[in-house]
Structures are given as structure tokens and as C-alpha cells.
């Protein structure tokens, strides 16, 4: 990730200044810190009736050729749920309904300092999985036959799903 060198508001060069309890990039002309906020993204664990999950093989950087959950960055004006379902359709051709939030995680990114990953579970869906958008393949995988997963946040969401939100097992939060 390249550091910002210029103020996004006035275009002048940035300096570093201790402000608000830490060193931050600072614009002396605007007299304001320049914040590095996480970029919001979503992903979905899509599970079928056989407890398999849907993965896509990436055809863009980062991690071209690696498998991951369908997902991507939110666009201005859409909710995390809308963004997750849009990405699911763009990458797999599947339309779905979000069952629940699986987790909210942070990850370092190659192009962004931090990514705020919002993960959802989709069990109600229609359509036939096919590669689209930035995916070379879309395929269903059994828990014990998962390929290497591209991103730590996706690995965590898959673990969360298999730890307690599978189709045929009770939610651990509701167990005695």
C-alpha cells in the first residue's frame, strides 16, 4: 500500500504530526489530519443442502488463481446486504437471500491499508453457479475438500460457518 503524499482536499504535500493520540498524516494548509479508514467489503458463505460451500477462483489481483468466497467492495449508496448479494450475482450468477450475519473482521489489504470485511450466510438461493465478473471458476466444495483459501477473513468466515451454522446442526448459541 502506497502512502498518500498529497492532501485529498487541497492537493498540497502532507506531513506527519502527532495528533489525537498518535502519529498521523497531516495537511498543514488545511490544518487537518488525513485519516486512513478501513474500506468496507462483503463476502458470502453460500451453503447448499449437502453442506457444501460455493467458492470462486479469482482471475484478478490480488491472489489471481486462488479460491475465495464470493464478495467484493461496497459501492456508495448500497447497504452491506445489497453489496453482498450484488457481488454474489456478479461472480456466480446466483441470486440469494441473506440468512444471517456471520461476522465482521478486519484484514490488511494489498491495495488498502485495512479492509473491514462483513460476512453473511446465504442458504436460500436460486440459479446455477457459473463464473462471472472477476472469477474464472465457481464450484461447490465439501468441508473436507476445501482448496487453499486466498484471504484470512474468508478462511475465518468459513470456520465460523462450519463451527456452528451448518444446515443440519443447531446454532451453538441456542444449545443447552
CA dist list (Å): 117 to 56, 74, 114, 123, 173: 17, 10, 9, 19, 22
CA–CA distance, 99 with 156 (Å, rounded to integer): 18
Q: DSSP characters for 113-163?
A: S-EEEEEEEEEEEES-----TTEEEEEEE-GGG---BS-HHHHHHHHHHHH
Burial 32-47 (b: 16+ CB within 10 A, else e): ebeeeeeeebbbbbbb
57 in helix, strand or coil? Answer: strand
CA distance 70 to 93: 11
Does 81 qualify as catalytic in the annotation? no
Set 16, 61, 137, 148: catalytic member: 137
Q: Which residues are annotated as catalytic?
A: 137
Amino acid at each position: 500500500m502506497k502512502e498518500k503524499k498529497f492532501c485529498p482536499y487541497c492537493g498540497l504535500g502532507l506531513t506527519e504530526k502527532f495528533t489525537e493520540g498518535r502519529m498521523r498524516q497531516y495537511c498543514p494548509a488545511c490544518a487537518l489530519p488525513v485519516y486512513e479508514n478501513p474500506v468496507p467489503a462483503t463476502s458470502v458463505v453460500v451453503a447448499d443442502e449437502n453442506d457444501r460451500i460455493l467458492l470462486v477462483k479469482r482471475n484478478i489481483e490480488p491472489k489471481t488463481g486462488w479460491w475465495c468466497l464470493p464478495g467484493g467492495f461496497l459501492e456508495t449508496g448500497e447497504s452491506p446486504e445489497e453489496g453482498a448479494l450484488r457481488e454474489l450475482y456478479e461472480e456466480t450468477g446466483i441470486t440469494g437471500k441473506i440468512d444471517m450475519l456471520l461476522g465482521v473482521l478486519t484484514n490488511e489489504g494489498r491495495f488498502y491499508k485495512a479492509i473491514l470485511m462483513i460476512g453473511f450466510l446465504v442458504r436460500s438461493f436460486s440459479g446455477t453457479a457459473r463464473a462471472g465478473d472477476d472469477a474464472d471458476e465457481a464450484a461447490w466444495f465439501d468441508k473436507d475438500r476445501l482448496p487453499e483459501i486466498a484471504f484470512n477473513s474468508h478462511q475465518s468466515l468459513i470456520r465460523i460457518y462450519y463451527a456452528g451454522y451448518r444446515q443440519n446442526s443447531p446454532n451453538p448459541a441456542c444449545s443447552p
